């Protein structure tokens, strides 16, 4: 839902600004799902709003809850019948919730280990559709007594955010201005569209940046991620140098561990060299992710090998952790999101 629709409605009905503020707050903070719940408006206004202002551009297709109750995946249907997926996660018990949202229907990047990449790109999502995923989780959390709203928003669902820059940029503006999210509670993940990284830095210097790296030599990375053929590791290093000059803020390198593909000591040394080649290696943190199974021939790195890989990085003085995998049992973990066209 765009706040402008409420403003237009208010102007048409001669409502003062405080009535607009009441409506916006009820939607984005209290998570109302129908206008009849807006008790501060008269019955007549609520009934008219119900007819005139849709609260959501997305409808529920399917919801799956993980067995540990710390991850929920929602398949949401757009008005043109496409299905996108978004996830709500709680990394630690009693901790804040994080939502992973999609920016496109499908994805054109064709990363070989990613379920979304198998779909191809159908279309970009609008800024409203992107923000409405967050609105959906606000409504869901209120309905299920999980708290007020997600604490963190990560553009790491379906699609490449920097290939839909105009709408992603507008959606961040919507989430910060209307929803009241701080810039540092928002993260954007990219497969490495290097020409857009400085643009993101200038527009949103306080928004977190994550790079899907997954290999640190060009041959291996190009085999896993076709984007590397256009924007190789040297170009990615240059883009990160520019990013640091503008923001001086930490960047997260996402690295999925694939058994016998990118998890050997040599690959760890390649990663160390890649990081050393950037002017501020202390601002890089590696998130190691044990592969989450999709319809591919890859296998996950054994846990003891993942720990050995982590130990090698730490001996090289690299900041790194093994990220906890949430939502595997509902295909809601990293790389597993795969919507469909109805």
DSSP string over 264-291: SHHHHHHHHHHHHTSS-GGGEEEEEEEP
The DSSP call for residue 300 is B
63 touches 16 (CB < 8 A): no
Same domain? 216 vs 283: yes
Q: Is it the case that residue 125 has pLDDT exceeding 80?
A: yes
39, part of any domain: yes
The answer to whether position 342 is within a domain reads no
- Cβ atoms of 224 and 262 within 8 Å: the answer is yes
What DSSP designation does 325 have?
A: P
Are residues 15 and 105 located together in one domain of the fold?
A: no
pLDDT tier for residue 337 given thresholds of 50, 70 and 90: low
Residue 52 burial (10 A CB sphere; 0-12, 13-18, 19+): middle
Q: Is the residue at 197 inside a domain?
A: yes
In a domain, 27, yes or no: yes
The total number of structural domains in the chain stands at: 2
Quickly list H helices, the chain.
3-12, 17-28, 43-52, 127-143, 165-177, 197-203, 218-224, 227-230, 233-247, 265-276, 303-315
pLDDT tens column, 253-283: 999 999 999 999 999 999 999 999 998 999 9
Asked if the structure places residue 341 within a domain, the reply is: no
Residue 341: pLDDT band (50, 70, 90) is: very low
- The answer to whether 334 is a known catalytic residue is yes
**8 and 98, same domain (yes or no):** no
Task: Identify the pLDDT of residue 5.
Answer: 94
Same domain flag for 16 and 90: no
Q: What is the pTM of this model?
A: 0.93
- Whichever domain contains 19, its CATH number is 1.10.150
On whether both 34 and 125 belong to a single domain, the answer is no
Q: Is residue 336 part of a domain?
A: no
Write out the residue range of the structural domain in which residue 17 sits.
3-52
- Same structural domain, 89 and 41: no
User: Average pLDDT in the 209-238 region?
Assistant: 98
The tens digit of pLDDT for each residue in 43-56 reads 999 999 999 999 99
| Percent of the chain clearing pLDDT 70 (strictly above) | 95
Q: Is 85 a catalytic residue?
A: yes
What values do phi and psi take at 281, rounded to 5?
Answer: -60, -20
Give domain status of residue 281, yes or no: yes
Kindly tell me if the per-residue pLDDT of 342 is higher than 60: no
Residues 44 and 142 in one domain: no
* Residue 340 domain-assigned (yes or no): no
Determine the average pLDDT of the residues in 203-218: 98
Average pLDDT over residues 196-201: 98
Domain end, chosen from 52, 75, 93, is at 52
CATH of the domain at 167: 3.20.20.70
Catalytic position from the list 85, 129, 167, 300: 85
Provide the pLDDT for residue 70.
Answer: 92
pLDDT attached to residue 330 = 62
pLDDT band at 307 (very low <50, low <70, confident <90, very high): very high
CA distances from 298 to 33, 200, 216, 241 (A): 42, 32, 18, 32
Q: Are strands 251-257 and 284-290 parallel, antiparallel or unpaired?
A: parallel
Regarding whether 178 and 39 lie in a shared domain, the answer is no
Given the residues 100, 107, 111, 334, select the one marked as catalytic: 334
List, for residues 64-98, the tens digit of each pLDDT value. Answer: 999 989 999 999 999 999 999 999 999 888 889 99
pLDDT of residue 112: 93
pLDDT at 334: 61
């Amino acid at each position: 839902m765009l706040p402008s629709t409420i403003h237009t409605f208010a102007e048409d009905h001669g409502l003062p600004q405080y009535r607009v503020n009441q409506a916006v707050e009820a939607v984005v903070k209290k998570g109302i799902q129908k206008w009849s719940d807006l008790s501060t408006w008269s019955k007549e206004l609520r009934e008219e709003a119900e007819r005139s202002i849709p609260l959501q551009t997305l409808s529920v297709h399917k919801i799956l809850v993980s067995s540990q109750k710390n991850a929920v995946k929602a398949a949401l249907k757009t008005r043109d019948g496409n299905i996108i997926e978004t996830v709500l996660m709680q990394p630690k018990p009693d901790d804040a919730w994080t939502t992973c949202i999609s920016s496109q229907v499908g994805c054109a990047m064709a990363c070989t280990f990613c379920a979304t990449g198998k779909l191809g790109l159908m279309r970009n999502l609008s800024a409203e559709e992107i923000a409405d995923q967050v609105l959906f989780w606000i409504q869901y959390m209120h309905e299920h007594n999980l708290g007020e709203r997600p604490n963190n928003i990560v553009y790491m669902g379906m699609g490449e955010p920097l290939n839909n820059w105009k709408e992603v940029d507008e959606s961040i503006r919507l989430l910060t201005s209307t929803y009241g999210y701080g810039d540092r509670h928002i993260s954007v993940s990219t497969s490495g569209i290097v020409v857009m990284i400085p643009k993101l830095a200038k527009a949103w210097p306080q928004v977190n940046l994550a790079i899907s790296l997954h290999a640190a030599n060009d041959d291996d990375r190009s085999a896993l991620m076709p984007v590397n053929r256009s924007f190789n590791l040297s170009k990615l290093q240059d883009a990160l140098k520019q990013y640091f000059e503008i923001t001086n803020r930490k960047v997260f390198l996402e690295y999925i561990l694939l058994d016998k593909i990118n998890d050997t000591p040599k690959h760890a040394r390649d990663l160390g060299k890649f990081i050393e080649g950037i002017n501020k290696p202390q601002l890089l943190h590696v998130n190691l992710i044990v592969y989450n199974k999709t319809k591919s021939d890859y296998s996950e790195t054994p846990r003891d090998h993942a720990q050995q890989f982590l130990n090698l990085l730490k001996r090289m003085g690299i900041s790194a952790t093994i990220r906890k995998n949430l939502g595997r049992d509902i295909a809601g973990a990293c790389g597993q999101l795969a919507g469909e066209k109805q």
